[in-house]
Amino acid sequence: MKLKLHVWRQKGPNAPGKLETYEANHVSPDQSFLEMLDEVNEDLVKAGKDPIAFDHDCREGICGMCSQVINGVPHGGQVRTTVCQLHMRKFKDGDEIFIEPWKARAFPIIKDLAVDRGAYDRIIEAGGYTSCRTGGVPDGNAVMISKEAADNAMDAAECIGCGACAASCPNSSAMLFTSAKVSQLAVLPQGQVEAKRRVTAMLDEAKALGFGNCTNHYECQAACPKGIDVKFIAKLNREYIKALLP
Amino acid sequence: MQLTQSSVGRKIIMAVTGAMLFAFVCVHLLGNSSLFFGSAAINAYAQKLHSLGPVVWIFRLVMLGLFAVHIIFGVQLTLENKAATPDKNVQVKRLKTGFAAETMVISGLALAIFVVYHLLHFTVRVTNPEIYVPIEGGKGMVDVFIMVTHGFQQLLPVMIYSIAMLLLFLHVSHGFQSLFQTIGLSNDRTLPVMGNLSKLVGAVLLVGYVSIPLLILFGLIR
């Protein structure tokens, strides 16, 4: 099938960017979205032009590197799907597709569709860890954790840090990411020691990095390729209130 | 300092002041409904409120404070949120949020302007001198029933009040469920129903408040 692509092209972080139009004339419905772009890039290289820069790594939906806003939605709007797992059979012959980068002050554009998501690493560095001495690997069930808490921790830990939550947020807020990283530790006993320090430090860091404030639009959950639930933002808020209390 | 500067701290301040303003709006509607029981009922209610003396003024100052905090932090947070996305994508498609949630600051500021008009109309009593008639044997007090029924026989005030109550519906339809999420009372079981419950609560306020001016305008309360 044939497609018309409108792709955001930007030479560097401070260069002006604009949409440019490309024809993709040999698209197979079996291709992934990234494979389709690979072919467009091959044509560009053959024509002596600069290929479209975009982030990708595992191409199996688990690493969180791919990051494109497709037709106005981060990752393209298919439920619980990263760009690399989005397939061209979801599009029709003759479709026009808009491909743009994450846009948020805290995610500066490196080139074209590639953005610097180091800001999420800064949030983790501010408190998304435990520093208690854990010793060797403990015996199974030596630390008693309920099935409910373990499931909850795993649900939060599903976050792959791709940045779609902040990219989809009308306020560019990183609250879903921060809440997942706070919650995965807050529901486990190992996370209790630094619980109060963690939540305020990570929130302060997110604010300092220039992310916006959460106003409960819940766009993040809808865009999240891992379906992280906004209940974790409520959990984060509870953790914050606990941190304020003496 | 943490509470008034951090992202979640200010969100909680918005939620708590919003909840108090919401509680006031509910009590105000209950008070208004005494109009359905006739002239004597609403005038007795008004006299009861006035007899509280200094308590009325303490209450007014608290309300002013709540409004000020809610508006100042609301505007501040909105400006920060706009600054967090200096340039938007050419194509933006929303999956979940709606008109009410995206226009909270606009509906809120418009409601603040309406409150000023409403106070001038029925509390300070300067906009429509013809409707402020002294009550018989009431030590210079105004007949509230006449003030309201005559006030709402004019089309313009009824339209202003109706539009304002639509804005209140929008504001509450996002704000009510937002309150529970912000103070951490939401979970995966409550979240799917809270959106609709929130709209229902907003609709009850809308119907309750708008019924009075509309029934008066159409001559059903006189």
The closest CB to that of A219, out of B8, B86, B97, belongs to: B97
Q: Taking the mean position of all CA atoms in its chain, how far away is CA A127? A: 19
Query: Based on the domain organization, do A92 and A123 belong to the same domain?
Result: no
Last residue of a domain, one of A94, A110, A126: A110
pLDDT over 80 (residue B137): no
What is the average pLDDT score of chain B? 95
Last residue of a domain, one of A110, A137, A167: A110
The SS3 of residue A53 is: coil
The closest CB to that of B191, out of A100, A206, A231, belongs to: A231
Q: What is the reported pLDDT for A133? A: 79
pLDDT over 80 (residue B140): no
Q: Which residue of B has its CA nearest to A18?
A: B90
Q: What is the reported pLDDT for A216? A: 98
Q: What is the reported pLDDT for B141? A: 86
Query: Based on the domain organization, do A179 and A197 belong to the same domain?
Result: yes
Query: Based on the domain organization, do A240 and A130 belong to the same domain?
Result: yes
Residues of B in contact with A71 (CB under 8 A): 91, 93
The CATH architecture one would assign to domain B2-85+96-217 is Up-down Bundle (1.20)
Report the gap between the CA of B192 and the closest CA in chain A (Å).
11
A155, A207, A237: best mutation site toward chain B, by most B Cβ within 10 Å?
A237
Range of the domain at A196: 118-244
CATH number of the structural domain spanning residue A51: 3.10.20.30
pLDDT over 90 (residue B139): no
Residues of A in contact with B2 (CB under 8 A): 200, 244
Number of domains in chain A: 2
ipTM: 0.94
pLDDT digits (tens, 9 = 90+) for B49-96: 989 989 999 999 999 999 999 999 999 999 999 999 999 999 999 999
Q: What is the reported pLDDT for A135? A: 80
The partner residues of A17 in beta bridges, in order of sequence, read A10
pLDDT digits (tens, 9 = 90+) for A175-199: 999 999 999 999 999 899 999 999 9
Last residue of a domain, one of A68, A90, A110: A110
pLDDT digits (tens, 9 = 90+) for B166-205: 999 999 999 999 999 999 999 999 999 999 999 999 999 9
Query: Based on the domain organization, do A171 and A209 belong to the same domain?
Result: yes
Query: Based on the domain organization, do A123 and A211 belong to the same domain?
Result: yes
Report the gap between the CA of A60 and the closest CA in chain B (Å).
24
Nearest by Cα to B50 from B152, B161, B140: B140
CATH number of the structural domain spanning residue A124: 1.10.1060.10
Q: What is the reported pLDDT for B138? A: 67
Q: What is the reported pLDDT for B1? A: 58
Residue A197 corresponds to which amino acid? R
Residues of A in contact with B12 (CB under 8 A): 237, 240-241
The verdict on a CB contact (< 8 Å) between A216 and B177 is yes
Q: What is the reported pLDDT for A85? A: 97
Let me know if B91 is exposed, middle or buried by CB neighbors in 10 A (0-12, 13-18, 19+).
Answer: middle
Spell out, as residue ranges, where chain A has pLDDT lower than 70: none
